[in-house]
């Protein structure tokens, strides 16, 4: 009989949720960066193991809301933690849990949702002994189905997470075809890869004010080339200058890095063209948030 588990990955921004999703799925389907608030929408990832289909929802990280986009992101988290089989709550084991994390955990406990605590980034600890007091303190306040220390970047502990989820899966038909790893449309995946490179390369307030839209994506009839044209939206004229860089250097660097990743992912030569446009204060404008596909409604 086929078995299925639906699992939401939640936790503080930058804890390593998207990194965990990619590690489990085995392909990079979610953008990862050292900057907070990388993930903006709910991203579905699928992993099949024998008769079991695990369906994951990666969510935006918990953070203090600063604009309308943030509010949509936090609503997405709230909506993603019901009607599922378990929550993988990812925490950075080197940081003390904050009130926002504890509040979500308490509400999950109150709704009897099974929570598996993933204590990530154990590679940053000097000694594993440092974990014992952290676990003791947390488990005195919150009840967890399991507590699993992992290091996603060192691929340590991921199989234990998968085994735990296989154990909670229930008899049910599979909802996705066996060869599907995400429900993100190719244009969205491509746009996210470009945005991730900009997040990596840019500093301060510029990267958070960026949205990327892929306007065209098509394979040429006569050659094995994928043409992609994308628009990079930013909030201010001065940001546009920073994104383009001196003599176009920054934009070239970002698009070259994105092209390499796109070619690896789609296994085809890519011709990528990027334009930069200004949309003043778009993160507070509902119609623009919606047009960028970032609204939870």
Ligand X SMILES: Nc1nc2c(ncn2[C@@H]2O[C@H](COP(=O)(O)OP(=O)(O)OP(=O)(O)O)[C@@H](O)[C@H]2O)c(=O)[nH]1
Q: Which is nearer to ligand X, 95 or 273 (CB)?
A: 95
Q: What is the closest distance, in whole angstroms, from the C-beta atom of residue 246 to ligand X in the complex?
A: 27
Using an 8 Å Cβ cutoff, are 158 and 187 in contact? no
Asked if 34 touches ligand X (CB under 6 A), the answer is yes
Using an 8 Å Cβ cutoff, are 13 and 104 in contact? no
Q: What is the closest distance, in whole angstroms, from the C-beta atom of residue 52 to Mg ion in the complex?
A: 24
Interhelix angle 249-266/237-244, rounded to 10 degrees, is: 70
Q: What is the DSSP string of 240-287?
A: HHHHH-GGGHHHHHHHHHHHHHHHHHHTSEEEEEEEEEE-TTGGG-HH
Classified as helix, coil or strand, 289 is helix
Give me the phi and psi of 14, to 5 degrees please. 80, 5
Q: Which is nearer to ligand X, 138 or 270 (CB)?
A: 138
Q: Which among 36-44, 126-134, 166-174, 209-217 is the span making contact with ligand X, rule CB under 6 A?
A: 36-44
As separate numbers, helices (DSSP H) first and strands (DSSP E) second, the chain gives 9, 10
Asked if 15 touches ligand X (CB under 6 A), the answer is yes
* Structural tokens at position 290: 């919606």
Asked if 270 touches ligand X (CB under 6 A), the answer is no
Interior/surface letters 230-240, b for 16+ CB within 10 angstroms, e for the rest:
bbbbbbeeebb
Asked if 13 touches Mg ion (CB under 5 A), the answer is no
Asked if 51 touches ligand X (CB under 6 A), the answer is no
Q: Which is nearer to ligand X, 125 or 180 (CB)?
A: 125
User: How many residues line the site for ligand X (CB under 6 A)?
Assistant: 23
Partner whose footprint covers residue 33, from Mg ion, ligand X, none (CB < 5 to 8 Å by kind): ligand X
* Structural tokens at position 86: 């378990």
Partner whose footprint covers residue 15, from Mg ion, ligand X, none (CB < 5 to 8 Å by kind): ligand X
* Structural tokens at position 220: 């040429």
Q: Which among 34-42, 74-82, 256-264, 280-288 is the span making contact with Mg ion, rule CB under 5 A?
A: 34-42
Among 39, 70, 76, 255, binds Mg ion (CB under 5 A): 39
State how far the Cα of 138 lies from the Cα of 46, in Å rounded to an integer. 30
Q: Which among 12-20, 62-70, 125-133, 156-164 is the span making contact with Mg ion, rule CB under 5 A?
A: 12-20
Q: Which among 147-155, 206-214, 220-228, 282-290 is the span making contact with ligand X, rule CB under 6 A?
A: 147-155
Asked if 18 touches Mg ion (CB under 5 A), the answer is yes
State how far the Cα of 119 lies from the Cα of 98, in Å rounded to an integer. 14
Among 45, 60, 157, 209, binds ligand X (CB under 6 A): 60
Count of CA atoms in the C-beta half-sphere (13 A) of 57: 21
Residues that bind Mg ion (CB under 5 A): 17-18, 38-39
Residues that bind ligand X (CB under 6 A): 13-19, 32-34, 36-39, 60-61, 120-121, 123-124, 151-153
């Amino acid at each position: 009989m086929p078995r299925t588990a639906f699992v939401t990955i939640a936790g503080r921004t930058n804890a390593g949720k998207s990194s965990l999703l990619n590690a489990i799925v085995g392909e990079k389907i979610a953008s990862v960066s050292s900057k907070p608030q990388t993930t903006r929408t709910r991203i579905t990832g699928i992993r099949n193991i024998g008769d079991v289909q695990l369906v994951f929802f990666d969510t935006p990280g918990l953070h203090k809301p600063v604009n309308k986009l943030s509010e949509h992101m936090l609503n997405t988290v709230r909506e993603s933690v019901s009607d599922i089989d378990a929550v993988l709550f990812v925490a950075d084991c080197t940081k003390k849990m904050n009130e926002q994390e504890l509040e979500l955990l308490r509400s999950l406990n109150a709704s009897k949702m099974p929570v598996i605590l993933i204590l990530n980034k154990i590679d940053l600890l000097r000694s594993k002994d440092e974990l014992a007091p952290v676990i003791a303190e947390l488990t005195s306040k919150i009840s967890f189905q399991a507590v699993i220390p992992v290091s996603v970047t060192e691929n340590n502990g991921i199989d234990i997470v998968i085994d735990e989820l296989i154990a909670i899966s229930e008899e049910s038909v599979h909802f996705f075809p066996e060869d599907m790893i995400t429900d993100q449309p190719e244009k969205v995946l491509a746009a996210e890869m470009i945005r991730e490179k900009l997040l990596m390369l840019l500093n301060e307030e510029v990267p958070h004010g960026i949205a990327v839209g892929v306007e065209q994506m098509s394979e040429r009839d006569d050659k094995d080339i994928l043409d992609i044209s994308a628009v990079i939206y930013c909030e201010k004229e001065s940001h546009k200058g920073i994104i383009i860089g001196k003599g176009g250097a920054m934009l070239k660097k970002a698009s070259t890095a994105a092209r390499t990743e796109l070619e690896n992912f789609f296994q085809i030569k890519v011709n990528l063209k990027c334009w930069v446009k200004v949309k003043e204060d778009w993160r507070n404008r509902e119609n623009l948030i919606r047009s960028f596909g970032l609204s939870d409604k």
